[in-house]
Amino acid sequence: MKIDFHCHTKSVKQGETEKRNIDSKRFVEKINDANVKIVAITNHNDFDKKQYEEFVEEANESFQIWPGIELDIKDDETEAHLIIISNPNCLNEFETSINNLIGDNDKSTFIANIEDVLNEFNNKDVIYIGHYIGKKKMLSPKMIELMEKTIEEKYRLFLEPSNYKTLSVMSDNGFRAIMGSDVQDWEKYSSINLPELKLEVDSFNKFLLLAKKDVTTINTLLQKKEKRDIDISIKLKNKKVINQTIPIYNDINVIFGLKGTGKSCIIDGLCDKYIKDGIDCSIYRAKDVDDTIKSMQTINDNEKFEVEFDLNILSKFIEKISKWKDNNPTSLSNYIEYIETKDNNKNKKRLGITKLKPIKNNSTEKYDEYLEKRKTIDNIINEYEDNNLYEFLDDNDKNILKEINNKIYIKYDSFTKEEYIKYKSIELSNNCITKIKEKADLLSSSKSVPNSTGFFEFAKNRLTLKNETNNILKLLRETKKIEEEKIGNLDEDKEVFLRKEYKTFFDNETGFKFGQTATTLKSVLKTLKNVNKKSLEDVNEYIKLFNQELKDNNIQATDFIGIKKYFINNKGEAYEPSDGERIMLILDRALFENKEVYILDEPERSLGNNFINDVVLPRINELAKLKKTIIIATHNANIAVRTLPFVSILKEYTKGEYKTYIGNPFVNKLINQDNEEDFKNWKDESIRVLEGGNEAFYDREDVYESR
Amino acid sequence: MNQDNIINVELKKEEDVDILEFQFDNPVKINLNSSNNKDLKEMFEILLKELIKKKFALKLNVQNNYKTELYKDVCNEYINALNEEIKETIESDLWKEIFETEGEN
């Protein structure tokens, strides 16, 4: 939930911008638009109870408003700003304290002594937020020391740096740090980046308990999140199998521990369980990146069957050409016999049918087309019936659809039959003519006129061969298809895609994987080109060679489909990602898949902190807000700590025994799953395991001068 | 059909053999006294090839001193039938599809 603990509604001091002034209605609109759930009004040296109450009334519980003030304070060396926010239930008491402190002083020039402030608010239900690094009028170390000494409940003291970078360094180093809008211009309020509370709090008291890490409060808040206790079988490296129940929240769950403590075994157990339960997971394992990249680039034989190429023509051609032969000319002796014998029988001369030539028959193309369409609609009707595709239709619609499908079937059936009758009747007539001629020839000792010289059929056969080889060469030359799948982002404007290129073999196709070697296909293609070129001349030797080559190499039509896979950038240029980039891509892909559960094993491996901070962390937090389950096994402090996981699982391996501690950063405790009395401090363990121990941690702190 | 679109076919006697000669650029001779179909097939191939270059019809000419009436009638019948089939071929949809659209193959 978004909070703003440093918010101005009034321009009070001299030089303060008028754009801070806002009325109740606009204030409520602005806060609601920014989806802020708790806002503290902290004007300079001023607490306007009347305005506060008016704003609360206008807000109508759509968000919480806490009363506060930003005081000018000083000690004998430094002047600073200190925000004090009160429990809204102690409004009158807060107002009295402010009046006691400021009285009739000019608010514009008022400055309180830090000791007076601490005395006035001592034991009052307030929190303190002091300006800190990067902010004007920041508290001096001396002032902080005094406050830490004076304020009994130290969790009531927070520091406010000027930016989020410092805030995260402070948080990582155990400071209570918080930031507010310090709004200068209400027009720009919605664009201000405000902090979010990981756990939802509905009152000032709850916020304090959270700050104090009160176990009951935190557990109550945690229970508001959906949790699943997952029973998994863990196969340890020593081959022992143990069963464990792991609490997993619809949020961030972190498994950490030194190397060899069995983190990956838990990840494997969880993966198995989710997959077994049919839950859609995105799984990333740093150790599998190379295999993942390899499998993306690997070409499977099955893939070529998935591409929608019309290879029917090639398959049919291959089948047809194996049976192809020339149509022979009618022998001249038939003509000689006809002329020689035509006057042998007067009766035959009167039998005009013996002089007839066959009727030219059209091809069966139309008949084949209608037959195919009739088959298609017949299949569709059967599919409807077999798969009960009518189930969502009421009886009326079902009958209409059935009737329409039947109408289509009947039409194609009738066309098919018409074409069949046309074709067959001509064939039958020609057969009759031939048979009658044969009979008449037999009875009259004469020869009828031959049906044809054979040239038309010879030419037609050769022309068909020419036409079909034309079509096949065109198919092989032109058929290609490109599919692209986004793999991931390397940075904001550098996307990487996997391009899958399909192409039929026509030339030297470099980089493509075909069903046969390039030499074989090249040779077959050369022969096919010769068949085409010579199809109207002496084609027979090439047909023979073509068939031989197909047979010798057991060549199928699909062998001519080649596949090439390679990575490209967003400009469409081939791109070979480096080892580090491959990891970034596969992780990015895993994080941006739309799944219910994200399981990440060592997402930090081989990655720089920039990528972790700029891409991985924001995305993990975003997924958590989308109520996704994220399970991360990590050695990285940025991931394990800064995501504030709902569950932290610490794995330990000592003296041949594997231990699992479960807890979270909110209660700051990790409890042994098998022994409740064995527990560890979450912060200490995080520092030990993730930061290399206290010494290393504080050394770094000193080097960075962050203290 | 003008003179350019005619291919002459001559029936003649050569060394006592009855010959039907198709006078393409490279003439093809058919031995009418032989039962071999090979020459006819070769003639068909050349006929088809020549037809691609230009459309034509065949015209039968009989050598002046040629006497065998039987072969005159046979060749007349045959060339008439062949001309019909040539016409049918070049007017077919298949012919048009190939030679009106054929490009780079």
Model confidence pLDDT, tens digit, residues A421-444: 888 888 888 888 888 877 777 777
Q: A699, A704, A647, A651: which is closest to A674 by C-alpha?
A: A651
Q: Tell me: pLDDT of A598 over 50.
A: yes
The rounded mean pLDDT for chain A is: 84
CB contact under 8 A, B41 and A328: yes
Model confidence pLDDT, tens digit, residues A339-369: 888 777 666 666 677 677 777 766 677 888 8
Q: Tell me: pLDDT of A183 over 80.
A: yes
User: Do A620 and A639 meet the contact criterion of CB atoms below 8 Å apart?
Assistant: yes
Question: A526 Cβ partners below 8 Å, 6+ apart?
Answer: none
A171, A480, A527, A549, A552 from A516: Cα distances, Å: 62, 18, 16, 12, 12
Helices A204-212 and A215-223: angle between axes, nearest 10 degrees: 110
Among the partner residues A339, A467, A532, nearest to B94 by beta-carbon distance: A467
Tell me the one-letter amino acid at A108.
S
Burial of residue A288, with CB atoms counted within 10 A of its CB: 0-12 exposed, 13-18 middle, 19 or more buried: middle
User: Do A50 and A84 meet the contact criterion of CB atoms below 8 Å apart?
Assistant: no
CB contact under 8 A, B48 and A462: yes
Residues from chain B contacting residue A455 (CB–CB below 8 Å): 44, 47, 82, 85-86, 89
- Looking at residue A536, its pLDDT comes to 83
Pick the CATH number of A227-280+595-704 from 3.40.50, 2.120.10, 2.40.30, 3.30.420: 3.40.50
The band of A498, judged by pLDDT with boundaries at 50, 70 and 90, is very high
Burial of residue A579, with CB atoms counted within 10 A of its CB: 0-12 exposed, 13-18 middle, 19 or more buried: exposed
- CATH 3.20.20.140 given to domain A2-219: yes
Q: A94, A87, A85, A84: which is closest to A114 by C-alpha?
A: A84
Q: A291, A246, A236: which is closest to A273 by C-alpha?
A: A246
- Looking at residue A341, its pLDDT comes to 83
Query: Hey, where are the domains in chain B?
Result: 3-101
Model confidence pLDDT, tens digit, residues A462-488: 998 988 888 888 888 888 889 898 888
Shortest CA distance from B49: residue in chain A: A536
- Looking at residue A707, its pLDDT comes to 42
What is the spatial distance between Cα B57 and Cα B9, in angstroms, rounded to a whole number?
10
**A473 part of contact set with chain B, CB < 8 Å:** yes
Query: Which residues pair with residue A564 across a beta bridge?
Result: A501
Q: What is the pTM of this model?
A: 0.59
User: Do A457 and B88 meet the contact criterion of CB atoms below 8 Å apart?
Assistant: no
Which positions 301-330 of A are in contact with B (Cβ < 8 Å)? 326, 328-329
Model confidence pLDDT, tens digit, residues A206-218: 777 777 665 555 5
What is the spatial distance between Cα A347 and Cα A444, in angstroms, rounded to a whole number?
8
What tokens were used for A147? 């406050």
Query: Which residues pair with residue A598 across a beta bridge?
Result: A282, A630
A203, HSE (Cβ side, Cα atoms, 13 Å):
9
What is the spatial distance between Cα A174 and Cα A701, in angstroms, rounded to a whole number?
11
CB contact under 8 A, A455 and B105: no
Burial of residue A671, with CB atoms counted within 10 A of its CB: 0-12 exposed, 13-18 middle, 19 or more buried: middle
What is the spatial distance between Cα A547 and Cα A323, in angstroms, rounded to a whole number?
9
CB contact under 8 A, A536 and B45: yes
Between residues B103 and A284, the one the model is more confident about: A284
CB contact under 8 A, B32 and A452: no
CB contact under 8 A, A331 and B97: no
Q: Tell me: pLDDT of B22 over 50.
A: yes
Burial of residue A445, with CB atoms counted within 10 A of its CB: 0-12 exposed, 13-18 middle, 19 or more buried: exposed
The band of A8, judged by pLDDT with boundaries at 50, 70 and 90, is very high
User: Do A160 and A144 meet the contact criterion of CB atoms below 8 Å apart?
Assistant: no
Residues from chain A contacting residue B24 (CB–CB below 8 Å): none
CA dihedral A34, A39, A41, A42 (to 10 degrees): -100
What is the spatial distance between Cα A516 and Cα A531, in angstroms, rounded to a whole number?
21
- Looking at residue A614, its pLDDT comes to 83
Backbone angles phi, psi at B7, to 5 degrees: -110, 125
What is the spatial distance between Cα A502 and Cα A520, in angstroms, rounded to a whole number?
19
The band of A197, judged by pLDDT with boundaries at 50, 70 and 90, is confident
